[in-house]
Amino acid sequence: MSLLEENAEILAGMERDGSDLGPSRPVDFSHVFPDRASAEAFANECDNDGFKIDLVQTERDEDPWDVTVSAEMEPSAANITWWEERFDARARTYGGQSDGWGFFRV
């Protein structure tokens, strides 16, 4: 299953559960990193591009640094997949990787 198909399936499930997917809203894209320097470099680049950033250290042994990047969009499979792939590619240049997405349901 492609990432687009996976995201479409997730969104279809949310819609079946009563979420209104129409309104534009912040979608949060999570990324994990092995060290603080990598996480901060990724976060700074995304912040410089105007995205809202949240950087936290977790209790995990592996990839203990989380960076959440929030992007405003209508939550469609195409939009989410497009941004998820771009953020993942950027995270990988700093030794990190994508760890999913989410948003507050309306």
Task: pLDDT tens for the chain, 106 residues: list them.
Answer: 999 999 999 999 999 998 888 889 999 999 999 999 999 999 999 999 999 999 999 999 999 999 999 999 999 999 999 999 999 999 999 999 999 999 986 5
What's the rounded Cα separation, in Å, for the pair 79 and 10? 13
Q: What is the pLDDT of residue 23?
A: 80
Enumerate domains of the chain plus CATH numbers.
Answer: 3-102 (3.30.70.970)
Other CB atoms within 10 Å distance of the CB of residue 43:
22
The number of angstroms, rounded, from the C-alpha of 61 to the middle of its chain's C-alpha atoms is 21
Instruction: Answer whether 68's CB lies under 8 Å from 31's CB.
Output: yes
Q: What is the pLDDT of residue 60?
A: 94
Q: Which residue shows structure tokens 């309104």?
A: 23
What's the rounded Cα separation, in Å, for the pair 41 and 43? 5
Strand order in the sheet with 97-102: 52-57, 65-73, 25-33, 97-102
